[in-house]
Structure 1
Amino acid sequence: MKFSISALFCLLAVSPALGQTFRNPVLWNDLADNDVFRVNDTFYYSASTMHYSPGAPILQSKDLVNWEYIGHSVPTLDWGSKYDLANGTNAYVKGIWASTLRYRESNGLFYWIGCVEFSTTYIFTAPSITGPWTQSSSIDNCYYDAGMLIDDDDTMYVAHGGGTISVSQLSPDGLSEVSTQVVFTSPSDVGYIEGSRMYKYNGSYYIFNTRPADAQFVLKSTNGPFGPYVVKELLADIEGPIVGGGVPHQGSLVDTQKGDWYYMAFEDSYPGGRMPVLAPITWGSDGFPILITVNGSWGTSYEYPLPPFPVPDLNGTDLFKETKLGPQWEWNHNPDVTKFSVGNGLKLETVTVTDDIYEARNTLTHRILGPTSSGTILLDYKKMVDGDRAGLALFRDVSAWIGIVNSGSDFKVSFWNGMTLNSSTWTTSSPGSEIASVPITNGTGKIWLRAFVDVQPGQVDTGLFFYSTDGVGYTQLGSFTLNNDWEFFMGYRYAIFNFAVIELGGSVEVDSFSLDAPGLTTTG
């Protein structure tokens, strides 16, 4: 079937002002385990990225609702060859889990702290939120699900742990551990808790914890950062604002310059991922925070915390004209930096000889925009060599792609389905198979490839794949049922790939990537 789908966007378009109310989620992007904090009149947001590189994306906002990507705290996942997809190894679902980010006014440094693979805690610092970020030290102790507090006297503390919560005091430079102490062991009526965030309010110390994935608890101490702490439930089993999604939980507390408080949680919304949702907080007479609900549920809409401040729209076209990739992009594992370039489009040389996209280096990913959107690339495939495969995937632990296959004597547009990772070892269960193909006869050497997604949870979530030889009329070549299991943690992404099946030496150029929400249209 044929579709005419517009791909004309403006990179400088701004988010529409929503008056004095906003709707949840504040961003239909997979941005889990957030740590949100304020420096003067600017809010910053850090999130988990597991095996994607660079890691720990940073977003900024002036109003807590409209967010833009500005960088990453971890430039390279420098933790062994598996993070390079080398020697037959991989780091799927490893890497950066819940971590913490703060600004320390006394020395003008930003600190990112995170535990990798339950063993070592790494500390990265930067003189500016946009970098340069460097690994400054490591601690031979896992600050699991870390939450940092810089106290009024400039002492740095980190709350961390699962089930048993500890607080560690850092050295004056914030780069090593002075002491650590267990401050709370969760009782049976609370259950297993994790996802620590640490705060100080009106002289009391608070540790914010989640019981995944249905409740949120607050620990409070009036006797200093090492407790003792008492616990109170903030929420449990309430309905979230995303239809079909889970219970909002984890995340962080943040205050505005006006003195108002908000809770930025995430809501499980697979297969898209975990989406940020925002709600106001008040403080009770007992000193514990109280979530402001709407008819007993997390509201789909609230008043803006501050006057709306527009940011560049996530919709748009990236022509890859800058000298480096924008902060909205992340590679599947660390890339081989000698095998790609940007500035006049995106050039991808083949790096890996494989028939498995999960083993192919230099696969470039972009978060999908929910609840529906489409991603489109304009691909120049003239320099592909025999056996090469290049195109656009919907990428997760169960994947599918549309692309160009060089069969030696000719090219074809091909749709592949069934690429699957084993959910216990995260090795490839199946490299997939070709479902449909069409010979290319126009001979221009360029083609438009499109993937459309509907990731509204609680339904049969669908991916559709199209191609076009003129960028106007699109033909559907395949469809795909998205996997909505949670175990991979990360949601689906658009992924641009190029790998060799026979030998290295080929390359492709991507002239543009366009993101369109709500995505599929039949006119224009």
Structure 2
Amino acid sequence: MEMSWPHQQLSRRRALAAATGLAAGAALPLAGASRAAAAPAPGPAGAAAGEFTNPVIWQDFADIDVIRVGDTYYASASTMHYSPGAPVLRSYDLVHWEIAGHSVPVLDFGAKYDLNGGRGYVRGIWASSLAYRPANRTFYWLGQIDFARTYVYTATAAEGPWSRLTTIGTPYYDAGLLVDSDDTLYVAYGNTTISVAQLSPDGRTQVRTQQVFTAPASVGTLEGSRFYKIGGRYYIFLTRPANGQYVLKSSGGPFGPYTLRQVLLDLRGPVPGGGVPHQGGLVQTQGGAWYYLAFVDAYPGGRVPVLAPVTWTADGWPVVQLVNGAWGTSYPSPAVPAPPRQVTPMTGVDTFDGTSLIPRWEWNHNPDPAKWSVGNGLTLRTATVTDDLYGARNTLTHRIQGPTSTATVQLDHSAMRDGDRAGLALLRDSSAWIGLKREGGSTRVVMVGGLTMDGNWNTTGTGRELASAAVAGGRVWLRASADIRPGAARPGTFSYSTDGTTFTRLGPDFSLGNDWRFFMGYRFALFNHATQALGGSVRVTRFELSTP
């Protein structure tokens, strides 16, 4: 499959940016807000006791949009081919976050998102927008799919249920949704040529669209729009991938005219070995302080959120506050009210004893709902006959916690059938796994490497067995550890246990790939697929994600 124009452009731009993305540089003025907001405060209104450390979330959450509703902060992120898509994160202090739900319950954008006659790898949920509309007390998510059309989902609570409001024929690429102070809905979008659209009062149709800015050749590509109204001015916050951030400002209304200013370029980031903070959003605290929540390219783990305070110039341009000429590794904690409760950790134990999966989990493409269930563990029935994990349905994924973490799974494999493969993978375009092979009525635990994809996300290697051991009984513990520090050795290791206490290493280290083109970072993945015939199943009774 030949890459579409946006993919080709993105590949060229990112490769260019990679050459300069880690260079040191001075920060320059920036701009933005929390959607329609009051005039900028002169700076952060004092800090609470203590400091926070970047990254505020060492997990893969890219293309962030961030808003505040009352005393609660929400953020959205890209998820590409994972389902459900567009997670909604929630925080009370901008530092500690939990996953509340997902704006896109199912990727019903074509059979390829079901791994049915095609694949949706590196398509699906790209940079999109999250907003809150006070007039009807409703959350809105807006994003384009496959460069073909735009979808709008709404919910009255961040955790859902979310439902599709409308489909709009214009694909709003890298969109930013603004709910203006008069309740009018606007969308900023585009790549290098930036446009603004006005939506109908019900948000279902486009009323008007107009080009408002074209990036000069000296700047290059601009995208990743975030749209704000602050102090009567309109701002469009734009990314130069993957090493810069710019802002457009208009005093004449949402359709301009706009003036461009650089926010940052080649700014040293707070993640050792990682890239330049960029492509995020601005938000104002209850006390009037401003913060910029961006992401840093930190492969193999993905793109991780970092936070910095922002001040404003007298003429209305925002400025990122630096530490020794760089985005700070730490800053004073935001001065916010005490949280009503502690957020739910993104690590820890899951025994799958509820009636649904908790929001930390996302499937590789849409699952077959008839082939899995929860309650007294997670049951995965074989859903696909294939020797290719990348083509197998019902693979369940969990983000890896950085800088290093370990996933341990307790697995009941007594109902596997001959030809079945089940286990725990480190999943990306280059993958490896530890798990079980059922053959000739007996079961072995194996470590498999060499699962690979090409640049068009077609499988080029289905894996080869690198180590194995006999296991007795119907239960086994599988463990995968991952070091996702960028610039380090990036090893993944596998081990198993027959008693849950003593673990035995199996196979060599797996070197985690750090190429950016797959966009998403490595994930832990639970899988069970057949190579001969359907009918087998496994039950995961416990999953634990732990850090040293």
Question: Is TM-score (shorter-chain normalized) higher than 0.5?
Answer: yes
Amino acid at match of 2:460: S
Give yes or no for the alignment of 1:507 onto 2:537: yes
1:429 aligned partner? 460
Q: Look up the SS of the partner of 2:78 in the other structure.
A: coil
2:249 aligned partner? 220
- For the 8 Å contact 1:385–1:408, the answer to whether it is kept is no
The 5 A counterparts of 1:264-413 are 264-307=293-336, 309=339, 310-413=342-445
2:111 aligned partner? 81
The 5 A counterparts of 1:15-26 are 20-26=50-56
- For the 8 Å contact 2:346–2:360, the answer to whether it is kept is no
2:36 aligned partner? none
- State the distance in 2 between where 1:226 and 1:301 align: 38
- State the distance in 1 between where 2:335 and 2:59 align: 22
- State the distance in 2 between where 1:169 and 1:127 align: 22
Q: What's the CA shift for 1:19?
A: 5.1
- State the distance in 2 between where 1:109 and 1:408 align: 56
Q: Look up the SS of the partner of 2:446 in the other structure.
A: strand
What TM-score, normalized to structure 2? 0.90
- State the distance in 2 between where 1:131 and 1:316 align: 23
- For the 8 Å contact 1:147–1:198, the answer to whether it is kept is yes
Among 154, 157, 161, the alignment partner of 1:132 is 161
- State the distance in 2 between where 1:327 and 1:311 align: 13
What TM-score, normalized to structure 1? 0.94
- State the distance in 1 between where 2:441 and 2:128 align: 50
The 5 A counterparts of 1:92-241 are 92-241=121-270
- State the distance in 1 between where 2:354 and 2:435 align: 25
Q: What's the CA shift for 1:409?
A: 2.5
- State the distance in 2 between where 1:65 and 1:416 align: 38
Ranges in structure 2 where 5+ consecutive residues have no aligned partner: 1-47
Amino acid at match of 2:250: S
- State the distance in 2 between where 1:66 and 1:140 align: 38
Q: Which string of whole-angstrom CA distances, capped at 9 and with x for unpartnered residues, describes residues 407-426 of structure 1?
A: 12210001100101111x21
Amino acid at match of 1:328: R
Amino acid at match of 2:166: S
Amino acid at match of 1:316: G
2:37 aligned partner? none
Q: Look up the SS of the partner of 2:234 in the other structure.
A: strand
**Mean CA deviation greater in 122-131 or 221-230:** 122-131
- State the distance in 2 between where 1:505 and 1:337 align: 15
Q: Look up the SS of the partner of 1:285 in the other structure.
A: coil
1:6 aligned partner? none
- State the distance in 2 between where 1:416 and 1:175 align: 49
Q: What's the CA shift for 1:311?
A: 2.1
Q: Look up the SS of the partner of 2:62 in the other structure.
A: coil
Among 44, 48, 66, the alignment partner of 2:78 is 48
1:70 aligned partner? 100
Ranges in structure 1 where 5+ consecutive residues have no aligned partner: 1-17, 519-524
Q: What's the CA shift for 1:460?
A: 1.9
Matched residue pairs, number? 497
- State the distance in 2 between where 1:91 and 1:390 align: 23
Q: Which string of whole-angstrom CA distances, capped at 9 and with x for unpartnered residues, describes residues 10-39 of structure 1?
A: xxxxxxxx9520000001010000100000
Q: Which string of whole-angstrom CA distances, capped at 9 and with x for unpartnered residues, describes residues 365-410 of structure 1?
A: 0000000000010000000000000000000010000001101221
Among 488, 496, 500, the alignment partner of 1:459 is 488
Runs of 4+ in 1 over 3 A off after TM superposition: 307-310
Give yes or no for the alignment of 1:258 onto 2:287: yes
Q: Which string of whole-angstrom CA distances, capped at 9 and with x for unpartnered residues, describes residues 135-169 of structure 1?
A: 11101111000101111110000100011000000
- State the distance in 2 between where 1:408 and 1:498 align: 18
